[in-house]
Amino acid sequence: MEIKAIKLKLSQYCTVYQAELLAIQKATEEIGKIRTPTFAIFSDSMAALQTIQNPNALHPLAVQTRENLHDLSLQGKVVILFWIKAHAGLKGNERADHLAKEAALKSKRRPDYDQCPISFVKRSIRTETLEEWNTRYAAGDTASVTKIFFPNAKTAYRVVRKFNATRLTTQILTGHGGFSEYLHRFKCKASPSCICDPGIDENVNHLLFECPVFGRIRSELECELEMEINSGTAEIIMQSKKREKFLTYCSRITEMVTNRNKTS
Select 68 or 205, whichever has its Cβ closest to Zn ion. 205
Contacts of 20 (CB under 8 A, 6+ apart): 43, 45, 47, 48
Contacts of 236 (CB under 8 A, 6+ apart): 227
Closer Cβ to Zn ion, 92 or 215, answer by number: 215
**CB nearer Zn ion, residue 117 or residue 192:** 192
Tell me if 66 sits within 8 A of 54, measured CB to CB: no
197-201 and 78-83 as β-strands: parallel, antiparallel, unpaired?
unpaired
Q: Closer CB to Zn ion, residue 21 or residue 211?
A: 211
Q: How far is the CB of 213 from Zn ion (least distance, A)?
A: 5
Rounded Cα distance, 21 and 29, in Å: 13
Shortest gap between Cβ of 199 and Zn ion (angstroms)? 10
For Zn ion, give the closer residue by CB, 211 or 238: 211
Q: How far is the CB of 235 from Zn ion (least distance, A)?
A: 22
Least separation in angstroms between CB 195 and Zn ion = 6
Taking the CB of residue 205, how many other CB atoms lie within 10 A of it? 19
Residues making contact with Zn ion (CB under 5 A) = 194, 196, 211
CB of 196 to Zn ion, least distance (A): 3
| Least distance to Zn ion, CB of residue 197, Å | 6
**Smaller CB separation from Zn ion, 130 or 200:** 200
